[in-house]
């Protein structure tokens, strides 16, 4: 099963991957990165910080502009991808294996997943 079959995507182009150990991985979709172009800066939150669904938890900058990244479900940050902060250009190659942003413990209820889309539906929505 490829990774895109397991993720859920938000309208604002974040993905959520259930790690099946009580945590979720959050990142940006390949479409988002393609639209942004060359990534040159990334700012991630501190481990332990908490955000509500839809709150800004990180900032990404391409050559062209700065963009905010929203948490697709409420959660507490349990791990951040420090290596990515040092080499944000990695995102232009891979958004899943090396290019994930943070891992969270969900703090909201399951209904928060309702407006997230499967990758195929998300791609369709874009067209």
Partner 1 sequence: MTKETYLHEKHVQLGAKMVDFAGWHMPVQYTSIIEEHKTVREAVGLFDVSHMGEVFVSGKDALKFLNKIVPQDISNLNYEKAVYCQLPNKNGGLIDDLIIYKLGIQSYLIICNASRIDEDLNWMVRNKRGLDVKIDNQSHNYSLLAIQGPKAAELMQKMGLNTQQSSFTIKAGEVCGIKVLASRTGYTGEDGFELLVENEFSEDLWDKILEYGKEFGIKPIGLGARDTLRLEAALHLYGNDLDETTTPVEAGLSWSIPKDKQDDYNGKEVIMAQLQNGVEKKLVGLKMLDKSIARHEYEVFFNGEKIGKVTSGGVSPILGANIALAYVKNIKEICTGTIVQVMIREKLHDAEIVKRPFVPKRNRITI
Give the binding site for partner 1 (CB under 8 A): 37-38, 40-41, 43, 59, 61, 63-66, 92
Distance CA 16, CA 4 (A): 10
**Shorter beta-carbon distance to partner 1: residue 9 or 33:** 33
Q: Which is nearer to partner 1, 4 or 92 (CB)?
A: 92
The Cα 45–Cα 102 span in angstroms is: 8
Nearer to partner 1, 37 or 108 (CB): 37
Min CB(101)–partner 1 separation in Å: 16
Given CA atoms 50, 89, 27, 97 in this order, what sign does their dihedral have? negative
Beta carbon of residue 33, minimum distance to partner 1 (angstroms, whole number):
12
Q: What's the min distance (Å) between Cβ of 112 and partner 1?
A: 26
Instruction: Identify which of 35, 68, 37, 33 has the alpha carbon closest to the alpha carbon of residue 54.
Output: 68
How far is the C-alpha of 120 from the C-alpha of 123, rounded, in Å? 5
């Amino acid at each position: 099963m490829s990774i895109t079959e397991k993720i859920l995507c938000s309208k604002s182009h974040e993905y959520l991957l259930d790690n099946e150990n009580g945590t979720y991985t959050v990142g940006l979709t390949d479409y988002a990165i393609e639209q942004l172009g060359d990534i040159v800066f990334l700012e991630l939150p501190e481990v332990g910080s908490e955000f509500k669904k839809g709150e800004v938890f990180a900032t990404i900058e391409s050559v062209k502009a700065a963009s905010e990244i929203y948490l697709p479900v409420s959660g507490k940050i349990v791990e951040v991808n420090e290596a990515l902060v040092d080499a944000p250009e990695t995102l232009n190659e891979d958004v899943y294996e090396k290019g994930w942003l943070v891992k969270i413990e969900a703090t909201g209820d399951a209904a928060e997943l309702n407006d997230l889309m499967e990758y195929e539906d998300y791609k369709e929505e874009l067209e």
